[in-house]
């Protein structure tokens, strides 16, 4: 054990990505425990019944097991870039709710056989179209600003970015051909950012007894 909060995370999980980016920006160092989703450590379920990443266990015993709550907690400790000025709760909820619904069914159609009704391709592409319509709205929003809530990145950008990345990567050639003149540069900017690179190193999945991985900007 260390004197740092413990973050259970998974490198490629969009929820975990956005939590790591907020913690990093807030300057909060954690003990990182990388989780293999197919073989979760029992300690994760002991900390949170949900046993899904991210989970942040604070040194005072408080447990935060919702990614957006981790982000807001971190930024309330320290918000050097003013991300909380862009905490657009309605926008975040639309993408955490309806957009994520369409994304999951576009990316993983085989997980929803009852909904697909035997026509997996139609089911998949219908959800792709519905998700893309929401992205087209974002593209319009970005027409007069660099980021979703103004000229600087804020909480809304980082909350949505990992899910838009996942949607784009499901079929990147198709996505790039759709003509999103504002959203594409926005996405590429976040992918190329020092912040994103900083929170994406690979770690071996954690197990009890391993040496602690201290993760943070300092």
Q: Where are the domains of the chain?
A: 6-81+197-215, 83-193
The token duo for 195 is 């912040």
Residue tagged 């408080």 (tokens): 62
Please give the pLDDT value at position 2: 75
CA angle 122, 128, 129 (to 5 degrees): 90
pLDDT of 48 reads: 97
Question: Which residues does 205 contact at the CB level (< 8 Å), separation at least 6?
Answer: 34, 35, 36, 39, 41
Considering the entire predicted model, what is its pTM? 0.96
Q: What is the DSSP string of 110-178?
A: GG-HHHHTT-HHHHHHHHHHHHHHHHHHHHHHGGGSSBTTBSS--HHHHHHHHHHHHHHHHTHHHHHTT
User: What is the per-residue pLDDT for 165?
Assistant: 98
How high is the pLDDT of residue 149? 98
> Phi and psi for 28 in degrees, rounded to 5?
-100, 120
> Is the CATH code 3.50.50.60 the one for domain 83-193?
no
Q: Using the 8-state DSSP alphabet, how is residue 3 labeled? A: S
Per-residue pLDDT of the chain (218 residues; tens, 9 = 90+): 679 999 999 999 999 999 999 999 999 999 999 999 999 999 999 999 999 999 999 999 999 999 999 999 999 999 999 999 999 999 999 999 999 999 999 999 999 999 999 899 999 999 999 999 999 999 999 999 999 999 999 999 999 999 999 999 999 999 999 999 999 999 999 999 999 999 999 999 999 999 999 999 97
| pLDDT value, residue 12 | 97
Output the CA–CA distances (angstroms, integers) from residue 121 to 80, 107, 113, 135, 169, in the order listed: 46, 11, 11, 21, 18
The helix (H) or strand (E) run that includes residue 185 is: helix 183-191
pLDDT value at residue 161: 98
CATH for 6-81+197-215 is 3.40.30.10
């Amino acid at each position: 054990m260390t004197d740092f909060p413990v973050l259970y995370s998974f490198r490629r999980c969009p929820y975990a990505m956005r939590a790591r980016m907020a913690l990093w920006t807030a300057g909060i160092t954690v003990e990182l425990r990388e989780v293999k989703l197919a073989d979760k450590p029992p300690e994760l379920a002991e900390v949170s019944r949900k046993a899904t990443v991210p989970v942040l266990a604070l040194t005072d015993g408080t447990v935060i097991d919702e990614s957006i709550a981790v982000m807001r907690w971190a930024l309330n400790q320290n918000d050097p870039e003013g991300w909380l000025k862009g905490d657009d709760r309605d926008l975040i909820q639309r993408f955490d709710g309806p957009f994520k619904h369409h994304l999951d069914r576009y990316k993983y159609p085989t997980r929803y056989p009852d909904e697909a009704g035997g026509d997996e391709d139609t089911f998949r592409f219908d959800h792709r179209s519905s998700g893309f319509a929401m992205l087209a709205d974002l593209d319009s929003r970005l027409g007069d600003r660099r980021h979703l809530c103004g000229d600087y990145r804020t909480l809304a950008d980082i909350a949505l970015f990992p899910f838009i990345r996942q949607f784009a990567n499901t079929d990147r050639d198709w996505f790039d051909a759709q003509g999103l003149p504002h959203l594409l540069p926005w996405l590429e900017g976040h992918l190329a950012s020092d912040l994103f690179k900083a929170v994406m190193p690979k770690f071996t999945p954690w197990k009890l007894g391993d040496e602690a991985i201290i993760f943070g900007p300092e």
